[in-house]
Amino acid sequence: MKLPLLLVALLAISFSGFGQIKLLTPDSPVEIKITSLIFLHTQKGMPLQQGQTVNQGDPVAQFAPQPTKRSDKFEKQLRESIQLYNKKSFAQAAEVLKKAVTQEPENPFLLEAYARALYQIDERKPDSYQVYKKLVS
């Protein structure tokens, strides 16, 4: 399953110009030089031209809505985790998805929800960073 750009946007990525992206990690910004970006799960409109400059805060794409079913086996757990996260029960939100991310390790929806919950738990921030790295790799 490919990574939707929406999830990438949630990783606090700031565009500093076409060809450069700064990933804001829990530790420090890491500059990565790139030559192209591939936007997945976007709607038509707002196409970028090759070599076009993109400044921080500029819209680059319009995101497609999330699919109604994001996991074949763990949709119920994903919804429960999101509800727990919204109630600020971060440890429970992460625990609900622990098994799911091991059985669907390429599912970006599960990984994003799991990493997001882990990030809110101080002692689990390093674990969150590892999940986020997997998500964007």
Is pLDDT of 124 > 60?
yes
Give the residue carrying structure tokens 């799960």.
41
What's the rounded Cα separation, in Å, for the pair 108 and 97?
Answer: 12
What is the pTM for the complete model shown?
0.61
The least confident of 7-16, 23-32, 82-91, 92-101 is 7-16
For 6-65, what is each residue's pLDDT tens digit?
Answer: 334 433 333 333 344 455 555 555 565 666 666 666 677 666 777 777 777 777 777 778
So what's the pLDDT on residue 20?
45
Portion of the chain with pLDDT greater than 70, in percent: 65
Greatest alpha-carbon pair distance for the chain in Å reads 45
Instruction: Spell out where the chain has E strands.
Output: 13-15, 20-24, 29-33, 42-43, 62-63
Shortest CA distance to 34 belongs to which of 106, 108, 136, 129? 136
